[in-house]
A and B are shown apart, each in its own frame.
Chain A
């Protein structure tokens, strides 16, 4: 009897185990709809869907509810969703978003076997943006971005300038001499430079002139320094002497449109412009060249990431999807089709064109000092950036001096520490 009871108990235990395992398996395969929030620089949402099509085919229980939001409204919408306890399962974010949202993101550490191996797959600067204060990785880097100079090669050639050769050693002074010749030699070219209406793009020039936002330890503002003042004054001089169109920083016209229309000789913008210009520029030849040297050589590193949130409803499936999307093959495909630099160290993206342009952006990034990334990762720089933009415009309008502007920014920034 005892043996029978023992046998029955064993059978019962085994069947419970089997049932539990079966139920777990069944649960894992239950249909799940992941809410995905995305913004586009160009065609990224379409390419994202195409890239993970094979993952979705292999995991038919996973469906996506994708919402593409205009970049201008993106951060506000995300913040409202997070504060309302209803964040998406997956979202595309920039390094600027990370500075503001990182505490709300779900750490990846708990979902992968070896987090150090994951971190090692990506560029250190990209990983640095995605680490929280405790060193936990909160997002997968997807694309690395850099600020660089894109020039109208045809216009330079018409002025007798081999811009690619010149740019290998050019400084801001030699750039200025060259673009003045370009303006003189081309009827259509009215300006030397268009620079996006953002402090991020302005910081390209600022870092090159030796400026910075914070002190070295990042414990206080440090905008009031000779390099920053020199950059603002140079920027104003370019506006006053007609090298830069006033319509961008004073009238919020799109600098990319001015470049595409062939009105400006060069554009300091992000690496994602390659995609846009490939599609839209038909009338002239353009090329990415090295940034002019000021006190130092510098670009501004940045990046795009994919992340899930602490309050996301389907974190496990979201993490699986993100891991798959970030692997070498998917990342290469995504970066190739969106014309973006990959954040992966092992990526060998075969772009259909513009290989040299990407190489130039990458080369500029390699010359960029690491503090530039750390400054843009700092939440205070993000909070004060709109005010910085306003203060620079006040200088351009002649309402205040560069010295007053940097002091004002330091006072304002100090309230956030």
Chain B
């Protein structure tokens, strides 16, 4: 009897822990330890080639006065909220259109929409710079050939921000579309059939069946999208280098500039900590709003 209980304990408690151990170890070494190391560095005055000197919270105090940092902070939030919002909508629409496996060429369309997320974001950024460039861009070339004026897609602050948001949504939607498709396909078809028999309109079915049962998938998409958008760098740098001026400069680019060009690793770490807290705050907010998952019963 005792040995059975021991065996049960092993299967129920120890075995899962053992399976989790390698992943937990990797998580500890590559996430937790660097995060604490970053926190420690944020309390130091430290260049790449100089010894760190402990300065307490002075880096954080300086951040409060740093106008450029706050511009990048606001830009990051505007970009992230816009990209996540638009990306959720666009990827959900794509998923709804391509979920059934009944349309001709549906798989081809899925692949076409998914391909941008496989590409290097640097390559995507360079390609779009060639499309939207003022003088050498394809769009303006076409517009001018038709007698119209060129549009300052990347040289006007507001249009540059809109352009990087659009391209980010374009590049990321395919990936989230696949997640949504798997979520949609997991919803039992009986529920839709029952709704149809009860005379529910498509709109009501979408809001009362699809969305509630897709909540957990939606949360995954929003959280992953938020984290990715807060860390966006390559695509934006390749397209605008953060410009014009500070118009598309985000915290990540400022961290890079301060760390590697101004050689202030401690100060850059303090910025990274703020970014981490910002991501944590938005993620917690999303979990709080999502509430409990709906079940099919």
Contacts and interface: CB of A to CB of B under 8 A. Distances in A.
B156 to A, nearest CB: 8
B235 to A, nearest CB: 13
25 contacts: A76-B260, A79-B48, A83-B48, A245-B134, A246-B152, A247-B135, A247-B154, A250-B155, A250-B244, A251-B133, A252-B240, A252-B241, A253-B129, A257-B136, A261-B135, A263-B135, A383-B261, A383-B263, A386-B261, A390-B245, A393-B244, A394-B245, A397-B157, A397-B244, A416-B262
Q: Would you call the interface of chain B mostly helix, strand, loop, or mixed?
A: loop
A251 B262 contact: no
Interface string B178-191: 00000000000000
Contacts of A103: 49
Interface range on chain A (Cβ under 8 Å from partner): 35 or more
A71 to B, nearest CB: 14
**Chain A contact surface mostly:** helix
Interface of B: 48-49, 68, 129, 133-136, 152, 154-155, 157, 160, 240-241, 243-246, 256-257, 260-263
A386 B262 contact: yes
B48 A252 contact: no
A382 B155 CA distance: 26
Given A79-B48, A383-B261, A416-B262, A251 B154 contact: yes
A282 B111 CA distance: 40
A83 B136 CA distance: 40
Contacts of B155: 246-247, 250-251
Interface string A392-417: 01101101000000000000000010
A104 interface: yes
Nearest to A70: B122
Contact of A251 (B49, B152, B257): B152
A32 B240 CA distance: 43
B263 A261 contact: no
A82 B155 CA distance: 37
10 smallest beta-carbon distances between A and B, as pairs: A247-B134, A250-B244, A251-B155, A250-B155, A251-B154, A252-B241, A393-B245, A76-B260, A83-B48, A247-B135
Contacts of B129: 252-253
B263 A100 contact: yes
Contacts of A386: 257, 261-262
A258 B262 CA distance: 31
A258 B155 CA distance: 16
Contacts of A245: 134-135
A258 B135 contact: yes
A397 B134 contact: no
